Structure 1
Amino acid sequence: QILLLDMHHIISDGVSIGILLKEWAALYEEKELAPLKIQYKDYSEWQRESCQKDRLKKQEEYWLSVFQDDIPVLNMPTDFPRPQMQSYEGDRIAFAIERELTDKLKRTAKENGVTMYMLLLAGYTILLSKYTGQEDIIVGSPIAGRTREELEHTVGMFVNTLALRNHPKGGRSFIEYLQDVKENTFNAYENQD
């Protein structure tokens, strides 16, 4: 027997695929599934209702303040001119980070009260700043968008992209900048709706 599931990416995210596979395996083993606390339509209703609430207005104000100035375009130097017709050609470089360096990164993150993601984001934005000479860097970061516990076992499309704006300016220590990245990341996640 072959089972083929074909879903458009607009109806499910990566977490949903895990839920579907887990529930399918449970049903195959003739186990009973726990009743759903909520369905995707409930989430849709929350979204619709929240459009009229103060919470969403406050989040809108947050994002308008983050992007009140001109939005910079990353001016990456390239080794050849961009083609007139957009191309999606590219390459992939795979590498492994040695355990010793990984341990140092984990220790640095722990000592500074940040996640590994925040630490690497700080390093990445500094790298982009060095390549471009720009001190205003925006990085789009995909997030799961499952902000309520009830959504953890719900199938649907919850993914969002956060535009994380940071300013890796010279004259400050990396640790000072890392704290800014931490604060900016927390604020963005608090206003992710």
Structure 2
Amino acid sequence: SFLPTPVAEQALRRERQHPTLRTLLVGGDRLRQFDRDPGFVLVNNYGPTETTVVATSGQLQPGGALHIGKPTANTRVYVLDAQRQPVPVGVTGELYIGGAQVARGYFNRPDLSAERFLDDPFAGGRMYRTGDLVRWNADGTLDYQGRNDDQVKIRGVRVELGEIEAALKALPGIADAVVLVRDERLLAWFTEAAAVDIERLRE
């Protein structure tokens, strides 16, 4: 069994009713388990929207490592340290993606574009700084390790915990707030400086 994304779960339900599935492509969220042969090939795709969705891809083996595959065609992938130098196999670094599919930047956000879309010093052109932490395996696949910031994914949707915390703190009566993810749910803790409108807080 494996813990898939909601879209994959729907495909699996259909497959149980009509067993014709030979290959299932998943992506958009982190797989956490794949320990039994489901009777079809499972391919794990990774890639942010800023690099036109799929940047790495690889077939998973039941009971094997849950990697995010190798770079797709015409994609350059770098695992870099804090000085933007390549790290050795097995060492965690930040993932950068280059190639023709890298977007130009964020619409009307030159500040964020300058922070995330950089000159590629290794091959020319541009590369995207993902904020994802990965490490190379000896076979050329990549292990996903997590984020280097507060961004999380819930059912495939990017969520910035800091933005939610800031919105909560802006409400009347909230002194401080912390937001975490547990079991695909957002949970918030807060301290009151005055009476709080709970319905507005939930909204």
Q: How does the TM-score come out when normalised to structure 1?
A: 0.24
Q: Which has the higher helix share?
A: 1
Q: Which has the higher contact order (CA 8 A, sep 6+)?
A: 1
Q: Which has the higher strand share?
A: 2
